[in-house]
Structures are given as structure tokens and as C-alpha cells.
Structure 1
Amino acid sequence: MNWLETAFDFFIYGFLFYSILLILVYGWIGFYAKGAIKSYIRKNSFTDYSIIATSPNAPTFSLIAPAYNEGATIVENVRSLLSLYYNQLEIIIVNDGSKDDSLQRLIEAYDLIKIDYFVEGNIETKPINAIYKSTNPVFKKLIIVDKVNGGKSDALNVGINIATNDYIVCIDVDCILEQDAILKLAKPFMDEAKAKVIACGGVIRLANNCTIVDGKIVDVNLPKTRLGRAQALEYIRAFLLGRMAWSRANGLMLISGAFGAFDRETVLQCGGYDHDTVGEDM
């Protein structure tokens, strides 16, 4: 009977120790994140984003969005990306061997034609079928790549090879970005003078119950279901607490696969995204 009592006591005290440790860690994260958020707000109060948006010396970005069987929404999603408020930007949509009419919808909507294109990167990927650009100068930022299906990591690697700008922004094609999202993403790369910033992530939120018009969020609301609200709370905890704190401590290990920017030269040296994992944003 004594060994049962000993095991029970060990479990109780172990659980108590774990709980205290967890509370202390989250207390530190909350305290550290509060300082990071204050610093972010203070720095932003001195920033004129209109200068960054139009400056020829601002960082250049290539936005890469993999797409697979997104025919129902892909035209509207691409239109939303084309409306982003940033001058030094190219948008690369990688059609990862879709079996629906995604590519045909894009060709018709954006007046696309096949072009010859020099691929700069050397990451090994599945073959590219064709590369398209628009005959309409309004869509000059847009590049469409059609390739053999290889998964999200492979599609992102194709986009990295094709990108020509200093930094790459990797997103999910069904994400809706705020129009100044790239401006906010550019600032951390410009702020740091003594060290090289290799990656920067944005805050992700749920679009449940939000009002979306022409690819833009015009009204933000909480999800109606309890599960949706719990998920919204988890997103706030993860981004405004966890990632802000670990970023301030220079210990951030994860950039969200839904919206993150990376130094392209560093990504090429690392060999791009790993094909053998579903957590390609780690």
C-alpha cells in the first residue's frame, strides 16, 4: 500500500510543480510581451509609412502564394493581393498542379500569356509547365507559375527560385491581407542597423463573422460559436503574447506559414523548404 501512496504523492507534487512552473513561464511571457508591444507602438508613432510605400530605396519583396484547386475563389484572392499598398512588390502565384479550372480562371481574368523566364534560384523542385504574365500593364506585378503537383513546400520553393527581390513573403493563397501589411512587414528589416534580420512574421486572425467586400475586410467581429471564440483567443495568446515575448528575447523559432517574410539569400543558402514535413513554417 505504501508504494501506491508514494506514487500518488509523486503525481500530486509533480503536477503542482508543473502548474507553478507553467504559471511562472506565462507570467514572464506576459510581462515581456507587454514591454515589446509598448516598444512597437512607440516606434510606430514616429513612422511615416507613406514614405516607405513610395521610396525606391525601400526593401523589395516577392510575395509567393501556392494554390491548389482554389478555382472558386482564386480570382478574388489574387485581386486582393494586387491591391496591397506597396511599390517594390512582385506577386507570384504558384498553381501546384490543380485539377480544377484555377489556371484557366486566372488566364481569363488577368489576360495572361506564356512567357520565357529566367529562373535565378537553384533549389531542386518538381518541373515547371509554364510561366505567365499579363498583357495588361495594370497587372504588371503579377506572375503566374503552373507546375507539376509537389505539395506546398515544393510550390514555395518554385516561387523562391523565380523571385527576383531581396525578401520573400510566403502566404496561403486564401489569406486576406490588410492593405498596409507589407509596409508593416518591411519596417523590422529597415529598423535593425547592427544585425541582419532573416525573418519577420505578421499577426494572423480569424475571418469568421467578419465582413469582407472585394477582398478587403471592412468590419471585424468575433466568431459567433464558442469554438471559434476559443480559437480567436488562442491566436491572440500565440501572437500578442508568445511570439512578441520570444521575439524580444531573440528566441523566436517559428514564423507562421500563413504570413511570413524571409531574407531570400538566406533561404537559398538553407536549401529552401523541407519536403518531408507538414510543418514547413518551423
Structure 2
Amino acid sequence: MFFEYVISLLNHLFVTYAVGITGIYFILAVISLFEILSYRDTKKYTNYKELLSSPFAPTISLIAPAYNEGLSIVENIRSLLSIQYNAYEVIIVNDGSSDDSIEKMKANFSLEKVPFFVEEKIKTQKIKAIYKSTNKALHRLLVIDKENGGKADALNAGLNVSNKELVTCIDVDCIIEPEALLKLVKPFVSDDKSEVIACGGVIRVANDCVIQDGRLLGVRFPKSSLARFQVLEYLRAFLLGRMAWAKLNGLILISGALGMFDRKIAVAAGGYNTNTVGEDMELIVRMRAYMAERNKNYKVAYIPDPLCWTEVPETHQVLGNQRNRWTRGTIEVLKLHKGLFFNLKYGVMGLLSYPFWFFFEWLAPIIETLGLVYFFILIALGHVFWLKAIALILVAYTLSVLLSISALLAEELSFAKYVKKSDINSMFLAAILEPILYHPKVVYWALKGNYDLLMGKKSWGKMVRTGFKKAQA
């Protein structure tokens, strides 16, 4: 009798968790779809040229840390220098690269050393030199050459050097849309109800897209199956997740690939934390906590436009390292800020955002694995009602596919970057196959991330890039 009661209780717990996580994801998806459509309609009447020509537009420093990015550094910098915005500068932080990154920058952008003094508002590794271009057409470009300290340390060096009102932090391997700054800055100047402290934008997969001189010329669905599955992940995360959290004013993660921040608040909050591999998420949480503790009316905004294109891993080893790092970063941030848990003082972040990340981002792969182990135990004990079990598996699979299709629908209703019929068909096929072929790997990498954190692993893991596809002559 007791054994049957335990089985019944565990069954209800696992089913309740599954229903809860599925329900929440679909609620977020519905909120996001309405917000995307609203943004699309509003965008028709937005004149970004007014910002482009306005003398009152905020000044911006675009900070891009670079470590061994010689394969694509020149194209990336050209992309950053082609952005449509008047009052901005590009700060490339060479974080002790051991490849030919600095030599390529010197040769292609006519760099020379300049005298410098940097007020170290945030402590960083030593800055060895600062370079500016002798070409007046490249007056926006500033290159910092420093000792290696990791991505967070490089970003902090950029914050120390910058004296602009806003900073945009971007991964140097990304291709940024020409209007990205105009769109990211808009919430800072148009929101008269709240103080906008940060704004994020959509990141898209650039693998197999056509790039020339740092500009995106053609969008193509990747050939690599791993990259294809990541396209779906990015669409779900950026279009169906973060859009909804921004609407609820509970967004606590802006991708390190592209984000804009109020520089003074970022510095006042302490800059990037060099002791975590989740520095992008940790900074947003700390900036939000900084504002909440001072009873400030603030907001973290989000733009659903595809503003940035990045190369994603195409090998299991590199992708596994990345997901391992993401898992460790999430856990580290949650542990550092455990005081937020259901804390009314921090508003939506404490009552909704933190619990969501705790229960449905961190614990989800662990609970899913425990559920699978529990299922095999029931099989061994002969306590499986196969008809119900198969029905539940089919429902879970169907809901997973529907969520991915919802993300594809959001893409087609809003920005429709994939225009070829073959690409759309391939995306639907990837949505059907992902729960079977890809999701188990993601769960494994997350579990390994938990284990590695327990074992004290701190490293980022090696990221090997293949470079962007060039335009054909």
C-alpha cells in the first residue's frame, strides 16, 4: 500500500512539473506573439532617421572584446564601423590574443599607439597600449591591447576607457545590422515612464549566410544539422521567451553577443563579474538589484528585430563546451543572488524571474533525467501502464514540436528572414527531429555542466570558429 502511494505521489509530481513548465512556456509564447505583432505595426511609423540626425541622440561606445579572433577580426570591425549612427565609437579590446589578431588590425586599419591615461573605475588586467587609426575615415576606431583576463575583464577595460552615455557590448565575431544602434537606443530616449537601464536585441545564426566586408548580404539556413537545431533554439529563446519577459519587466538576461547599457549604472553596479562564466546575465541581475534597492522606477527593454548575426558551433565538442558553460553560468548567478528568491523587494525579478530560472532553467534537465530514471525503474518493476505512458510521451513530443513551430510562425509573421521555400521546409523538418536527435544532447551537456561546477571547473572551454561564408564573385 505504501509503495503504491509513493508511486502515485511521484507520478503526480512529475506530471505536475511537466504541465507547469509546458504551460508557462506557452503563456510566454502567446505574450511574445502579441508583442511582436504590436512592435511590427509600431515600427511602420518609426522614423529612425530623426535619431540619426538629432544632436540630442545619446553618445554610445561599442565595446567588443577579442581573443584569438584573427580568422574574422577584419570583417567584424568593418561591420561595426558601418553602423548607421552618428555619435558612437568602436572600442576593440584585444584580450591578450596569442594569434595574429593585433597584427591584422594594425595592417588593415593603419593603427598607431597613442598616449593614454585610464581611470580604473573597475579593476582590470594591465592595459599595454591603446591604438588609434592614422586614417581619418576610421576616427571612430579605438583598439585596447591588454593582458589576458577573460571576456568580463576585457569588457570592464572597455567600460573604463569609455566616456559615452551608453555602452553596447558585442561579441566581436558577430555581424551587426547597420540600424542596430538606432533601434537599441530608441527605448532609452522614448520611454518617459521608466528609466531604461539596458536593452537587448535578437541574435540570429549566421552560419552559411553570405557575408562581404562585414555586411550580411544573404540569409541562408545552415547546412550543418547542429547549426539548424540551434536556429530553432535561438528563435524560441529570443522571439518567444525574452520578448515576453521584457513585457512583464522581468528580463534578467541580455545576450553577451549584443546588449546596450547605461554606462554610469553599469559602472556603479560594479561592472562585469570576472568570477563567473555567466557575466552577461549576472550584470543585468546586479544592475536591476542596484535600481530596486534604491527604489528607482526602471526597465530592461528588448527589441525583437534581428539585430545581430553570430556563428554558432558546428561540432559536438565545441557546442558541448558552450552549453556546459551556459549551465555553469546560470547556476553561479542564481547562487550569487539567492537573496532574490521570492523577495518582494525586487518586484517581478524576485517573484517571477528568479523562481522561473531556478525551477525551469536550472532544474529542468535534472528533473527530466530523474523522470527518465524513474520511468526505467517502473519498467523493471512492472508498474508501467503502457497505454498511458505512450500517450504522455506523444503529448510531450507534440507540444515540443508545436512550441518550435510557434517560434517559426513568429519569425514568418514578423521579419521573415528565411524566404526560400526549401529553407522553410528544412526548418519544419528540424522542428520535428529536434526533440529526438538534439534535445537529449542538450540535457546531457547541462547535466555535465552541473557536475563540472560541483567539481570546481571555471574555464570557458575552447570555441573554434570556421569563419563566415564569403560572397561569390
TM-score range normalised by the length of the shorter chain: over 0.9
CA distance in 1, matches of 2:12, 2:225: 33
Aligned to 2:101: 102
Q: Deviations over 1:152-177 (max 9, x none)?
A: 00000000001121000111110111
Shift of 1:121: 5.2
The answer on whether the counterparts of 1:61 and 1:165 sit within 8 Å (CA) in structure 2 is yes
Aligned to 1:153: 152
Which structure 2 residues correspond to residues 194-205 of structure 1 after superposition, within 5 A? 194-205=193-204
CA distance in 2, matches of 1:230, 1:252: 24
CA distance in 2, matches of 1:219, 1:41: 22
Range with bigger deviation, 39-48 or 237-246? 39-48
The answer on whether the counterparts of 1:120 and 1:163 sit within 8 Å (CA) in structure 2 is no
| SS of alignment partner, residue 29 of structure 1 | helix
Q: Is 1:74 paired with 2:73? A: yes
Aligned to 2:179: 180
Aligned to 1:214: 213
Aligned to 2:4: 5
CA distance in 2, matches of 1:110, 1:230: 37
CA distance in 1, matches of 2:213, 2:31: 38
Aligned to 1:26: 25
CA distance in 1, matches of 2:119, 2:37: 41
| SS of alignment partner, residue 247 of structure 1 | helix
Aligned to 2:82: 83
Aligned to 1:39: 38
Range with bigger deviation, 148-157 or 77-86? 77-86
Range with bigger deviation, 77-86 or 155-164? 77-86
CA distance in 2, matches of 1:120, 1:225: 46
Unmatched 5+ residue regions in structure 1? Answer: none
CA distance in 2, matches of 1:39, 1:175: 28
Shift of 1:193: 1.1
Q: Is 1:257 paired with 2:264? A: no
One-letter amino acid matched to 2:242: R
Higher relative contact order (CA 8 A, sep 6+): 1
CA distance in 2, matches of 1:74, 1:174: 7
CA distance in 2, matches of 1:72, 1:26: 38
Q: Deviations over 1:106-160 (max 9, x none)?
A: 1121111111234255111111101111111100000000111111000000000
CA distance in 1, matches of 2:29, 2:22: 10
Q: Is 1:130 paired with 2:129? A: yes
The structure carrying a bigger helix percent of its residues is: 2
Shift of 1:63: 0.4
Shift of 1:15: 1.8
One-letter amino acid matched to 1:34: L
TM-score by length of 2: 0.58
CA distance in 2, matches of 1:254, 1:215: 27
CA distance in 1, matches of 2:210, 2:144: 31
Range with bigger deviation, 111-120 or 146-155? 111-120
TM-score by length of 1: 0.96
The answer on whether the counterparts of 1:120 and 1:164 sit within 8 Å (CA) in structure 2 is no
Aligned to 2:47: 48
Aligned to 1:270: 269
One-letter amino acid matched to 2:135: N
CA distance in 2, matches of 1:109, 1:204: 27
Shift of 1:11: 2.0
CA distance in 2, matches of 1:208, 1:148: 31
CA distance in 2, matches of 1:261, 1:13: 44
One-letter amino acid matched to 2:85: Y
Q: Is 1:247 paired with 2:246? A: yes
Q: Deviations over 1:203-256 (max 9, x none)?
A: 001112211122111111222233322211111111111100000000001110
RMSD: 1.3
One-letter amino acid matched to 1:208: N
